[in-house]
Amino acid sequence: MSAMATVEYLGDLRTQAKHLKSGNLLVTDAPVDNMGKGEAFSPTDLVSAALCSCMITIMGQVADREKINLKGLTAEVVKIMSSNPRKIAEIQITFSHPNLNATEVQKQKLKNAARTCPVALSLSESLQQTVTFNF
């Protein structure tokens, strides 16, 4: 199995990850409340954003199969940290789509897809995932 990324420590609690297939770069910073500059996503921010992105991706697959136009779907992500031990305690995601044209059955399929995306299933059961759908 070959590597999908490399990560380099740049100093000052900053890293740069490189996606090997595309060459895309991603910078992380430690958050201000944990000795960092907070000038980029923190690693725990990325976990939270990855959960949301995964949910949207899997909902997109369902939408394509169901012939639902999901374009315009937005999400707000809130990360809540615990202090002892320092870890993500809860990720709150609120999805909104003001004009989603889908049946109630299709909407339920979208919700089920989000809640069972690979990232959601990979995270610890102790991490609370609070997901709200406004559509």
The predicted structure's pLDDT at residue 90: 98
pLDDT tens, position by position, 5-62 = 999 999 999 999 999 999 999 999 999 988 989 999 999 999 999 999 999 999 999 9
The predicted structure's pLDDT at residue 40: 96
Question: Into which CATH architecture does domain 43-134 fall?
Answer: 2-Layer Sandwich (3.30)
The predicted structure's pLDDT at residue 28: 97
Q: How far apart are CA 88 and CA 40, in angstroms?
A: 18
Q: Which residues pair with 78 in a beta bridge?
A: 92
Opening angle at CA 122, ends 17 and 32, nearest 5: 45
Edge to edge, the sheet with strand 128-134 lists 74-83, 86-96, 128-134
Domain ranges of the chain: 5-34, 43-134
| 37: its two tokens | 């500059």
Give Cβ neighbours of residue 34 (< 8 Å, ≥ 6 apart): 42, 86
Q: Among 36-40, 119-123, 125-129, which is the least confidently predicted range? A: 36-40
The predicted structure's pLDDT at residue 75: 98
pLDDT tens, position by position, 84-95 = 999 999 999 999
Nearest to 45 by CA among 12, 13, 73, 78: 78
The predicted structure's pLDDT at residue 56: 98
Q: How far apart are CA 114 and CA 118, in angstroms?
A: 9
